[in-house]
Structure 1
Amino acid sequence: MKISGSIYSDKNRPLKETIADLEAHQVDLLHVDCNDDLAVFDDIEKIRSWCKMPIDLHIITETPEKYYDFLRKYPVEYVTFQYEQLPDNFELPTDIPGEKGLAVITPTNVDVFDAMSSDFDFILMMATIPGQSGGKFDPENFRKIRKFKSKYPNKNVHVDGGVNGEVSFILRNMGVHASVSGSFLFKATSVGQALMDLTKREIESLFKVKDFMVPRDECPIIDYSEMTLPNVLELIDKGRLGFILVEENHKFKGIISNADMRKALLRNLNDIKGMDVKEMINPNPISILDSSTVNDMLNLVRDQSFPVMYLPVINSDKNAVGIITFVNLIKGEI
């Protein structure tokens, strides 16, 4: 996951000194907030003379057309427009260079991206109030990220607001492409220390597994009463996770993974039609409570003697309530 350093969040140093610090610590992008102020292009021109770092420009305006010529004259690698301020007839010219993003605040449904999906390369989730540094991350955005990535697997997700060490770990696990960091970077002892916190794998978290898990209604689940070989195969294929949850009258009974299915088929090669499909079930998979913290989850994974790619999530009543998958964590680190 890329880190985009919010340059105007450093209130104590000249801009050139801030940029030099971010460059020295190899921050991936320079995030420039533009609250309807064309003067930011003066700063962009200066930044181009100081370094070659990619610029991540976020524009909040009701009159986007006045920015087009400036974006042509001072091209940036990423340019994002805030959805809520855009006019209804907004059309982004195709000759504007760089990757284009649409920013939405927490209350705005990600479905607004649908009408503009052909014009934009990514969505920027504003997890706090746009333009205000130091806010607290709203966990509703975890659900929005999942929804967007499900609808648009080939589009990227960027996140701005409230990203500290614990939130950064969760976002990486969800496959977020880039996160903006401002006050967290500059209020730390040093930018280097803050970057270590944003990318480290040792996390003390206040968030619970239930805050960012894939919820039950998005999980591939099969009941005992529906277990046939075609049903199991179809559900594993549609779920695209490599496993399904098994339950009986809403009580968690185990999982069937690709490996479990393969082993059962190998044992029954001579009589696949007569095979009891329930033989595929792993009744004792590694699982985690929905009330567990991120740190609990990491300790559980470390304690295993084999790689853990997913975890069923259960509640105190032993009901399946979701899953955690680590596939996106691998993608998010690339």
Structure 2
Amino acid sequence: MLVSGSIFAVKDNFLNYASQLKFAKADYLHIDLFQNDHDFKLEDVLIFDKSYLPLDVHLIYEEITGDIIGVINKSTAAYLTVQYENMKNKDLCIKAMKKFKGGIGIAIIATTDIEMIEKYINDINHVLIMCSEPGVSGAKFNDKCYELIKTVRNKYPNLKIHVDGGVEANIAETMNGMGISMVISGSYLAKNLDSLHKSIYNLKYSNENNISVKRNMIKFPQLPVIKSNTKFFDVITCINHGKIGCCFVVDNSKLLGIVTDGDIRRAYLKYGKNVFDILASDIMNIHPFVVSSSATIADIHEHLVENGKWWIRIVPVIEDDLLIGVAKL
């Protein structure tokens, strides 16, 4: 389950908190925007450049125009959600939102009739269910929302559901079981910044501390594998077919190194027009982070946070010195 950390769970030092969320391995940075809020303006989303997490923007607006979407499109926003109850001309707002570059959604409160989803089902990527008052950090989770979530899930089984409002570890465990795609969390994450990464882990993995790396491991026969003498063009082909952003250089199942998309880009810069003459051995990372088959997902999470390797999503799993698969975070 994805985790979006709400920026307004803190009262100041927003950029610092945004950085902390990134290095603690949150997935998105959630920003609530009110139309008449003069403290945090629409254009302020642009201060969160690519050095921060991608944005998850929640508009509590009466009107949405192409100009508004234009500003958000200049940001790193991956999701844009509008509060249904606040929109005056809902059809025009949704029409304008369709110009957004990423996934769009509608946020609803517990008392809103979900039949309205039907009208916009082919326009939206997700529905955000507000389980507390929109824009209020620290509010308690409304237990009535459990039934609302079940109803939406049963009626629209292929629609992504995001949940916001009072989400903490125990509630996240239930959300995970209900197939929620993403939870937005504010005060739960911000209340103890020294253990922020542990709080994020608890939300993502429902407080289960002993998830083996082998549970959802991509096994060796399914991995994109090459030899050290594989030519550059064939390395690119292997990565493309593997669809996980890298390939593994092996010899009789022993891992020699990894070649990632980033290694490919760096090779172009280093070798220029001669790049197609090089081999996998010339560009592979011979010291990748790996874990033993006895490790847990919590072990990986802790290591990556402590070492600032927030970007890693694929971790090779080694058993008896042989590559047996990869843990996909």
| 1:29 partner letter | Y
1:174 and 2:183 matched: no
Query: Residue 138 of structure 1: SS of its match in structure 2?
Result: coil
| Alignment deviations for residues 75-101 of structure 1 (CA, whole Å, 9 cap, x no partner) | 621000000011235332332211001
Matches within 5 A, 1:102-141: 102-141=106-145
Check the 8 A contact 2:46/2:74 in 1, yes or no: no
Change (3 A) 1:202 1:60: closer
Partners of 1:130 and 1:111 in 2: how far apart? Answer: 20
Change (3 A) 1:193 1:100: same
Partners of 1:35 and 1:117 in 2: how far apart? Answer: 25
Check the 8 A contact 1:136/1:161 in 2, yes or no: yes
| 2:72 partner letter | L
Change (3 A) 1:89 1:25: closer
Partners of 1:28 and 1:201 in 2: how far apart? Answer: 16
| Alignment deviations for residues 248-297 of structure 1 (CA, whole Å, 9 cap, x no partner) | xxxxxxxxxxxxxxxxxxxxxxxxxxxxxxxxxxxxxxxxxxxxxxxxxx
Paired position in structure 2 for 1:321: none
Partners of 1:72 and 1:198 in 2: how far apart? Answer: 29
1:7 and 2:7 matched: yes
1:95 and 2:94 matched: no
Matches within 5 A, 1:55-204: 55-65=55-65, 67-74=68-75, 76-91=77-92, 92-93=95-96, 94-188=98-192, 189-202=194-207
Unaligned segments of structure 1, at least 5 residues: 204-332
- In our comparison, the structure showing a higher alpha carbon Rg is 1
RMSD of aligned C-alpha atoms? 2.2
Change (3 A) 1:77 1:49: closer
Check the 8 A contact 1:185/1:191 in 2, yes or no: yes
Change (3 A) 1:89 1:28: closer
Query: Residue 106 of structure 2: SS of its match in structure 1?
Result: strand
Matches within 5 A, 1:285-304: none
Partners of 1:42 and 1:81 in 2: how far apart? Answer: 17
The structural deviation recorded for 1:200 is: 4.7
Paired position in structure 2 for 1:289: none
| Alignment deviations for residues 151-176 of structure 1 (CA, whole Å, 9 cap, x no partner) | 21111000000101110000000000
How many residue pairs are counted as aligned between the two chains? 203
Unaligned segments of structure 2, at least 5 residues: 209-327
Paired position in structure 2 for 1:300: none
Check the 8 A contact 2:10/2:190 in 1, yes or no: yes
Change (3 A) 1:166 1:144: same
Partners of 1:72 and 1:159 in 2: how far apart? Answer: 23
Paired position in structure 2 for 1:30: 29
| 1:150 partner letter | N
Partners of 2:206 and 2:135 in 1: how far apart? Answer: 29
Query: Residue 108 of structure 2: SS of its match in structure 1?
Result: strand
Change (3 A) 1:49 1:201: closer
Partners of 1:157 and 1:49 in 2: how far apart? Answer: 26
| 1:191 partner letter | L
The structural deviation recorded for 1:71 is: 2.7
Check the 8 A contact 1:41/1:74 in 2, yes or no: no
Check the 8 A contact 1:56/1:77 in 2, yes or no: yes
Normalising by structure 2, we get a TM-score of 0.57
| Alignment deviations for residues 119-171 of structure 1 (CA, whole Å, 9 cap, x no partner) | 11110000000010111111211111111111211110000001011100000
| Alignment deviations for residues 163-204 of structure 1 (CA, whole Å, 9 cap, x no partner) | 01110000000000000000000012531232233245558x
Check the 8 A contact 1:5/1:29 in 2, yes or no: yes
